[in-house]
Structure formats: C-alpha cells, structure tokens
Amino acid sequence: MRGNNEFDFDFIVIGSGFGGSVSAHRLVEKGYKVAVMEMGRRWTPDNLPHTSWSLHRWLWRPKIGLRGFFNIQFFRHATIFHGSAVGGGSITYACTLLQPPEKVWEAGSWTGLSDWKAEMPEHYETASLMLGVTENRILGLADHLLKKAAEASGTGHTFYCTKVGIFEPPEGEQGNQTFPDPYFGGEGPARTTCIACGGCMMGCRYGAKNTLDLGYLYLAEKHGAQVFPETRVVNVKPLGGASDGSAGYEVSTVKSTAWVPHQHRRRFTCRAVVFSASSLGTMELLFQLKEKGSLPAISSQLGKHVRTNSESLIGARTPGYSEDVSLGIAIGSGVYIDEHTHIEAVRYPRGSDAMGFLTTILTDGRPGPRRIALWVKNVMKSMLRHPIQTVRVLQPIGWAREFVILLCMQALEGEIEMRWQRPWFWPLRKFLVSHGKKVPTYIPKANEFAKTLAKLTGGFPMSMLPEILFNVPGTAHCIGGCVIADSSTHGVVDSRHRVFNYTNMYICDGSIVSANLGVNPSLTITALAERAMSFIPPAAETDWNDAAKDTAKHLTVAP
Ligand SMILES: Cc1cc2nc3c(=O)[nH]c(=O)nc-3n(C[C@H](O)[C@H](O)[C@H](O)COP(=O)(O)OP(=O)(O)OC[C@H]3O[C@@H](n4cnc5c(N)ncnc54)[C@H](O)[C@@H]3O)c2cc1C
Ligand code: SF4
C-alpha cells in the first residue's frame, strides 16, 4: 500500500468544463493536491478566432489539424455540439444561465434520493454568484424583433431578458471599460465590460464573458491546481491489486494535439478521480475503460437515459437589410410560444458566416422524402419569383449580419441511448452509436413563428438543411448517460455522484443529469457539482474510503 506522499496527486479531474472547474476549485480549497487533465487548448483574447471562417481555430478535430474549441459529433438521432477547451464548453457557450422548474426533481431516476427541492436552492445561489449571473440589459435588434413577433402571435407577454454570465456595463454606460475583479473580492482577474459584439459563441475577445478560466478554474489554479492542457486521458485503472480503486488509480494520458499522440504517453498516480469530460466525453471514456478491462464494474446502465432536449433551429434572413442583427449578446432574450415551447433569439458576430452553408428556405411537413421534395419545390418556386433575393439568401456571405437565429426548445420528455458499437459504415473500430425513438425536427408552431418574424423584416423564413435532408436535429444540450440512481441496476452514480462499485471515484458533469431540464443546462451542472463537492471532507479529515452503497449486488468485480 502506498503512503499519501507516493501519489502524484490526491485528485485527478478529467475535463475542465463546468463540473470539472467547480470540482478543482472546491477540492483545492479543501486542501487537496489536484491536477486537471484537459484535452482542449488554452484560449486567450489574443489567440481566439475573429470569425468562423478561421476553421482551424474554431473547430475541434485535431487529427485533421483543426485545433479550435467547437466540437460537432454526428449521430443518427442528433447532431451534438459541444466545447473542448481549458474551461470546457464555457469558451464557446452563449452564457445563458437559467434555473429549471422545481418539477425536474420529481422526474427521472434521481427522484426521492435526496430532498433536492430543499437542498438545491443554496447550491444554485452559490453557482449563480460564482458565474456572475445577471439579467441581460443589452437588447439588440434581434431581441426587439423577437418581441415584436411574439406580440404579433399573441405571446408578447412572455418576452423576457435572459439571465447571463456576462460582465455588462452599468445602465446607460458604454462597454470596453476595465475594472479590478468585480466578482471574487479581489481574488479574481481584472475584467472588461461587454461591447455587445454578439461574438460570445466564437469566444469573447474582450474579457467580458464569465468563462470558467476567469472564474472557478482561475481560482483553482491560483491556489495550486495544476492544469494540463492538450492532455487527453486514455486510461484509468485501479492500483495495487485493489480492483475497487481503494488503493488509488493510475491515469494515462496522451497529447491530444500531436500528430502521433501515443508518442507522448504519460502516467500519473492519484488517490481519487473525478470524471468531468461532459456527457459525451465521460460516456465515451467509460465505455472504453469498461471494455478494455480497466474499469469492468462500471454499471451496465452506462449510455442509458441520454437527453438532448427537443430542439430545432430556424430563423429569418433579410438580404441587404439596412441594420445589423448580429449586435447584442449571443442570446439576449426569449419567449414562450406555448406551455412547452420556448424560443430564444440567438446570434453569431458579424463576419462569422460559415454556418450559412447549413441554412435554407423554411420547409414545413413531416420528415422524410415528402419533406425533401417540398423543400426542392419551395427553393425552385422562390428562384422563379425572386431569383436575386433567393441566391443572396442561400449563399453564406453576410449571413451573421442578416440572420436572426431562433433556437426553439421543447420541454417534452424523450430520451435516447448511446451504445459502444462498430457502425455499419466503419467496422474498424467502435464509437458511440445512438439508439431509440427519433426526436421531432419539425415543430409547426415554431415554423409559424419564423414566418411571422420574417414578415416584420421583409425577409425569408429559414430552416436548417440537415433537419430537412436527414431529419436529424442539432443540439448543444446533451445531458445524461451516467445518471444518478439508487443502485447500479438503475444508474451509474449515487446521489453524491460516487461511481457504483468503485471507491474514491466521482462523476461531475452533464452526464449525471437525470431528467429533462427544458432549459440550458450549465447552471444546473454547476450547482450539482457544488453539491457533490460539499460532501467531500477536508484533506486533513479524509480516510480515503468514499464509496457508494449499491443496493444491487449482482455485479461481479473482476479480481
Ligand atoms: C455553441 C454552444 C452554446 C451553448 N450555450 C449554452 C448556454 O447559453 N447555456 C448553457 O447552459 N449551456 C450552453 N451550452 C452547453 C454547455 O456548453 C454544456 O452544457 C456544458 O459545457 C457542459 O458542461 P460539462 O461540465 O458537462 O462539460 P464541458 O463543459 O463540456 O467540459 C468537458 C471538458 O472535458 C474535456 N474532455 C473530454 N474528454 C476528455 C478526455 N478523455 N481527457 C481530457 N479531457 C477531456 C473536453 O475537452 C471539455 O473541455 C452551449 C454549448 C455550445 C456548444
Ligand atoms: S457580446 Fe462580445 S463583448 Fe459581450 S460577452 Fe459576448 S463576445 Fe464578449
């Protein structure tokens, strides 16, 4: 058995997003020696891309030289967008930080495992303070158009300004002014106020967005956490013959941005591990480790109860519009067009037009060949009626300046499952493959809303091309896959995020979220991680023996 000083670290945190940064900060505060392994790069205002045309600094696909922070993964049931960077999804996210309705604690596998309604408000409050949540005061043209369209369709009273994590200038003042740390009593970095450039999803080049590297992670590093950027974890295995991890773990990494990553293999030892690699990242890593025999006793519930929100991206484009709809913050406002359907006005900054290739003339109708035929008919009809305008609306140049994106989310229950399989088109290796009932890509009321908004500007209502051609919705809100439950027969972790069948092993990220939130998930992931860390004793008091009680004893742990 090793002594405490023979381990490289007390805790290794895998991933530096919302769950990972909270964990690192709180563990360092409790006196632990912490490392954070992050496969993405570190970003600063100087190296962030100016527009989405800078593909190699925007997209994350390191094997083909794309070393940005925005990752897109394609599945049969959804195209999933997520972030990969020091600071995880916070570098590319739109900083909308909303609290879900209380009813989410009465749905899904976490129901009844804790007095969530009594416990969570305190953690939401801490999370909101740490992320600097404020009500948006910067309304751009896209927000005003959203409000007008809601009024025209009888739902104007539901218009609200989003709660966001942005350092906004005081009422009536201009942005771009630098102040000493406004959030952490002088412990944090100086910050500059928002200039409403609409660039949040391309990374804030002004230091106004409350990204994790300026908050939780900044404080963790300042107080001793060691962050390893461009370092991908490829193995985690128990040490010293104790298959449950009670004697510690060995964590192996490779350089994620190297052309030949396995040449840069490194090994670290630690007493405890926190998986915080995001819903997809943690599922992928755990499936690999379960299969290769490093962590064989991970629950077979891994990959189940994955939720993607029911989302559809639509919008309106007005070629040659005299005003710039990209000004404002990424998501400034929202409306509820009915009890279940929520629409937010979204934007990319001027010049970030690459997504313009994915949008096309709005097309109604049920998914399948008929919808595709209808789309072809709509495009041809538009070409005959307004040939110049139609060409202008279908080409990408000027897209961000002219396009009001509408993100439509439905809080309807629906889930898919991820399995670790060889897809039919690529039998050489296994990947995450989605299964289950398809999420609808056509939300009729949302399409009507896009038409109303387009009328206000004299523009064209628009849809996403992949939704029409492949009936696959896009989502930036993938959660679940390692859900909280009473035992390993129903989930992967217990209500304190401890992984069933292992000791001193935790999951703190979107994968443990066990119900459909119906709102953007980052505030909830942060609050849940705050709660999970509150159960870990200070370093001086730990006996390194923290394990979930599993009421299902059917699993055999390999020796
Ligand atoms: C364009 C966009 C806009 C969004 N806007 C919003 C919004 O406005 N509001 C909101 O609430 N949510 C938003 N989201 C979603 C939000 O970003 C995620 O829900 C959130 O980041 C998830 O937090 P997490 O802790 O689960 O992990 P993440 O923040 O995703 O972090 C996981 C980290 O782990 C790293 N990692 C993965 N595997 C490994 C490995 N094997 N080794 C080392 N590191 C690894 C990844 O690189 C990543 O940096 C948006 C997402 C996108 C893509
Ligand atoms: S609108 Fe511009 S300045 Fe403001 S937070 Fe977003 S990127 Fe930063």
> Which residues line the pocket of ligand 1, CB cutoff 6 A?
14-20, 37-40, 81-85, 88-89, 92-96, 201, 232-233, 276-279, 281, 285, 331, 476-477, 509-510, 520-522, 525
Whether 531 lines ligand 2, by a CB cut-off of 6 Å, is: no
The per-residue pLDDT for 470 is 85
Cα of 392 vs centre of ligand 2, distance in Å, is 28
Ligand 1 atom with the smallest distance to the CA of 526 is 25
Task: Supply the pTM of this predicted model.
Answer: 0.95
Q: Which two tokens stand for residue 292?
A: 């290769």
Whether 196 lines ligand 2, by a CB cut-off of 6 Å, is: yes
The closest of 274, 181, 259 to 225, measured between CA atoms, is 274
The closest of 184, 204, 186 to 194, measured between CA atoms, is 204
Ligand closest to the CA atom of residue 95: 1
Pair 363, 468: CB distance under 8 Å: yes
- In which residue ranges of the chain is pLDDT below 50? 554-559
pLDDT per position as a tens digit, 492-525: 999 999 999 999 999 999 999 999 888 889 999 9
Ligand closest to the CA atom of residue 91: 1
Catalytic residue status for 477: yes
CA distance 371 to 101: 35
pLDDT per position as a tens digit, 327-340: 999 999 999 998 88
Tokens 């909830």 map to which residue?
524
Cα of 509 vs centre of ligand 2, distance in Å, is 25
The per-residue pLDDT for 2 is 62
Closest CA to ligand 2's atom 3: 194
The β-bridge partners of 62 are: none
Whether 329 lines ligand 2, by a CB cut-off of 6 Å, is: yes
Cα of 202 vs centre of ligand 2, distance in Å, is 9
Ligand 1 atom with the smallest distance to the CA of 478 is 19
Cα of 478 vs centre of ligand 1, distance in Å, is 9
The per-residue pLDDT for 189 is 97
Q: Which residues contact 301 (CB under 8 A, 6 or more apart)?
A: 483, 485, 488, 489, 490, 491, 492
Cα of 136 vs centre of ligand 2, distance in Å, is 12
The enclosing H or E element of 235 equals strand 231-238
Strands (E), 302-381: 304-307, 310-317, 331-336, 341-346, 359-361
Ligand 2 atom with the smallest distance to the CA of 328 is 1
The per-residue pLDDT for 437 is 87
Strands (E), 16-147: 34-37, 60-61, 66-67, 70-74, 79-83, 134-135
Q: Which two tokens stand for residue 554?
A: 């059917």
Ligand closest to the CA atom of residue 331: 1
Task: From residue 399, give the alpha-carbon distance in Å to each of 72, 192, 322.
Answer: 20, 28, 13
Closest CA to ligand 2's atom 5: 209
The Cβ-side half-sphere exposure at 79, using a 13 Å CA radius, reads: 17
Whether 166 lines ligand 2, by a CB cut-off of 6 Å, is: yes
Q: Which residues contact 305 (CB under 8 A, 6 or more apart)?
A: 108, 109, 415, 417, 480, 481, 483, 491, 514
Ligand 1 atom with the smallest distance to the CA of 82 is 53
Ligand closest to the CA atom of residue 81: 1
The closest of 359, 296, 308, 349 to 325, measured between CA atoms, is 349
Question: Per the residue annotation, which of 25, 123, 342, 477 is the catalytic one?
Answer: 477
The per-residue pLDDT for 135 is 97
Ligand 2 atom with the smallest distance to the CA of 167 is 5
Task: From residue 177, give the alpha-carbon distance in Å to each of 11, 137, 173, 208.
Answer: 38, 16, 9, 10
The per-residue pLDDT for 245 is 97
Tokens 């809080």 map to which residue?
411
Closest CA to ligand 2's atom 6: 200
Whether 209 lines ligand 2, by a CB cut-off of 6 Å, is: yes
Cα of 46 vs centre of ligand 1, distance in Å, is 22
Q: What is the DSSP string of 421-444?
A: E--TT-TTS-EEEEESSPPP---H
Q: Which two tokens stand for residue 290?
A: 């379960």
